[in-house]
A and B are shown apart, each in its own frame.
Chain A
Amino acid sequence: MGRFIARRLVGMLVVLFAVSVLVFLIFNVVPNSPPAQRLAGKNATPVLVKSIEEEWGFDDSLPQQYLSMMEKVFTGELTSYEPRIPVDETIVEGIPATLSLSIGAGVIWLFFGLLLGYVSAIRAGGWLDKLLTGVSIAGISIPVFLLAPVLIYFLTYKIELFPNGGYVPITEDPWGWFTHLILPWFTVAVLSIGFYSRVLRSNMLDAMNEDYVRTARAKGLSERKVMTRHVLRNSLIPIVTLFGLDFGATVAGTAIITEKLYSLQGVGLYAAEAAEKFELPPIMGVTLYGAFFVVFVNALVDIAYAYLDPRVRLGTSAQ
């Protein structure tokens, strides 16, 4: 297991490097305009543009530019240009909100998704199963940017059941933190509840047809033990991987839109505001750190999967 972890982490470093090169290409190589001009943003003065040119070294060779860019990012020198605020400070300030949103939503969708999936699988073919399948398909198709405005309009404005957006740190006011996050959590979770319940249902139905389930029954195990110790246990393993990937994708994706819709001061909102103003440095920073975070989570997920499935952990069969 130790060797597997070591190998995986090395792989991760390679991917991180590839990602940084990719970000560099996106920002500096691909577009068709003077880089300093781009970075300076909408209201750039010639003086600003010149100083950027020097700072970033756009006359140097590409590899040199890459190194300069990496240096700037990782030594905290990356700043947005109007106003002049260091990017990583702002990112750090936004982390609590983003994580609160993502982790909370993740817990909710995992719990309900698995519950509904289990029930659907046990009662496969029945009316409950069909109903839940329909609900799942609907859930997968409701985009965040439809659900949020509807919820906001009806539940925060028409009926003032919930506060209208904004983030309250848990250290300040735990109840406020909670009430401000309920709608965002629900918005993010709805999509995935449907999806996860279908995945678990499908895995369980497949597992129920496996030979080892037949053996378990032939051994005289009770139906409940067959379902939990054999069917469910094996069905959950792929879901671990899935959840890890989805969690990463949520932090670095859905959270952006959701934070904008609910005005939660997280990393996503920071990126969204920068996007609106066409401000590149914050986007560069968020993209790089966001991608790094996802790559890291993926490595963790692979390691967890290897732990859970001995076939992966121990390699192929020994004779």
Chain B
Amino acid sequence: MSAPLLSVDGLRVGFNTEGGLVQAVDGVSFDLRPGEVLAIVGESGSGKSVTAQTIIGLTRSPNARIEGSVKLDGEELVEASDTALRRLRGERVAMVFQDPMTSFNPVYRIGAQIAEAIQAHRGDVGKAEARARAIALLDSVGIPDAERRARDYPHEFSGGMRQRAMIAMALALEPEVLIADEPTTALDVTIQAQILALLEQLNRERQLATILITHDLGVVAEVADRVLVMYAGRVVEQGTLDEIFYDPQHPYTWGLLGSLTRLDRPRPQRLPQISGAPPSLLELPEGCAFRPRCPHEFSKCPQQPPLEARLTEAPGHCDRCWLDPERKREKRQVAGQIGLEAPAP
């Protein structure tokens, strides 16, 4: 097994707000190997975007408290200088954001914005050459008539093409890691499939290590090698794609899986949901954060469960639930499939 390219260890990110200290990320650790696709899954407020943005230092601000370690090829990033971070942004770690319409500057042409990314890191590249490279990049992500379209403005592109252009811009300097923060959420379902196919192709052809952030398990099933499930700023389960989908260990994961509508099962009477809502990060329950929504809560839960591998045959598969594995296998079956029943009223 190759050495990890990106190594996150005990990352904690807190923000000072009017209501108090909000711990958006509370002890997240994972490794990313070259060529691997890691999916981070969770609802709004789970801390997945903050984790990703912290990797390249976008969350640095006077009211942010960042602790822990992020190592890119051994180089520590959490304490790195702004100059060092700037040099690796785009060059070694690139990021693609959720809404391509607002992520491009509306008053500059697309080609110019891509060229800007190139020239920011390669001082020796002239304007004409940068433009030419931008056109080639647009072409490589499947944008037809790239030379003409490079002169267009963002609002003249369709949603899917804009996202392709964003991806092209991210690849401009051939980074080692691509972080995609909800890249398909703002797009039509049909376009989503195209973008995912593109990301998968890039990962295959260039061995591009990818962190894919999403709330949609369907997307995860398409492209991920490993999965991290986050809730209220903590990792509640992590493992390979098969482990998570076929042997999930945490009730929250059961709930996510159970709410997927599947073509191979009869139509449910009502769309299943996880009842309740994510907690306010200012008022977290004591112990396991999922308790208020979990029908399987028992006496040990007020104690914070540690993230541990509890299955001897799968040492890489960790979770944060006190239930022992046999009870889990029992309880996760709801109406013949994996799911989460509503808690008792």
A and B: partners? Answer: yes
Closest A residue, CB atoms, query B153: A310
Residues from chain A with Cβ under 8 Å of B158 in the complex: 317, 319
Q: Is the CB of A220 within 8 A of B86?
A: yes
Q: Which of A292-319 contact B (CB under 8 A)?
A: 308-311, 314, 316-319
Nearest CB on B from A76, distance (A): 45
Interface range for B: 20 to 34
Given A217-B89, A219-B90, is A311 in contact with B106 using a C-beta cutoff of 8 Å? Answer: yes
Residues from chain A with Cβ under 8 Å of B107 in the complex: 233-234, 237, 308-311
Nearest CB on A from B321, distance (A): 35
Given A219-B89, A314-B153, is A211 in contact with B117 using a C-beta cutoff of 8 Å? Answer: no
Query: Which of B9-17, B93-101, B233-241, B271-279 binds A?
Result: B93-101
Q: How far is the CA of A236 from the CA of B58 in the complex (A)?
A: 25
Nearest CB on B from A32, distance (A): 53
Q: Is the CB of B56 within 8 A of A218?
A: yes
Nearest CB on B from A131, distance (A): 20
Asked whether A154 is an interface residue with its Cβ less than 8 Å from the other chain, the reply is no
Q: How far is the CA of A174 from the CA of B169 in the complex (A)?
A: 55
Asked whether A22 is an interface residue with its Cβ less than 8 Å from the other chain, the reply is no
Q: Is the CB of B103 within 8 A of A214?
A: yes
Nearest CB on A from B53, distance (A): 8
Q: Taking chain A's interface residues, is the majority helix, strand, or loop, or is none over half, making it mixed?
A: helix
Nearest CB on A from B313, distance (A): 40
Closest A residue, CB atoms, query B93: A218
Q: Is the CB of A317 within 8 A of B89?
A: no
Given A219-B117, A319-B158, is A214 in contact with B97 using a C-beta cutoff of 8 Å? Answer: yes
Q: Which of B32-91 contact A (CB under 8 A)?
A: 56, 58, 82, 86-91
Q: Is the CB of B157 within 8 A of A216?
A: no
Q: Is the CB of B157 within 8 A of A317?
A: yes
Binding site for B on A (CB under 8 A): 210-212, 214-223, 225, 229-230, 233-234, 237, 308-311, 314, 316-319
Closest 9 CB pairs of A and B: A220-B89, A220-B90, A211-B102, A212-B105, A219-B117, A317-B155, A310-B153, A218-B95, A219-B90
23 contacts between A and B (CB under 8 A): A210-B102, A211-B97, A212-B102, A214-B58, A215-B103, A218-B94, A219-B120, A220-B87, A220-B89, A220-B90, A220-B117, A221-B116, A222-B120, A223-B82, A230-B105, A234-B105, A234-B106, A237-B107, A310-B106, A310-B153, A311-B106, A314-B155, A319-B158
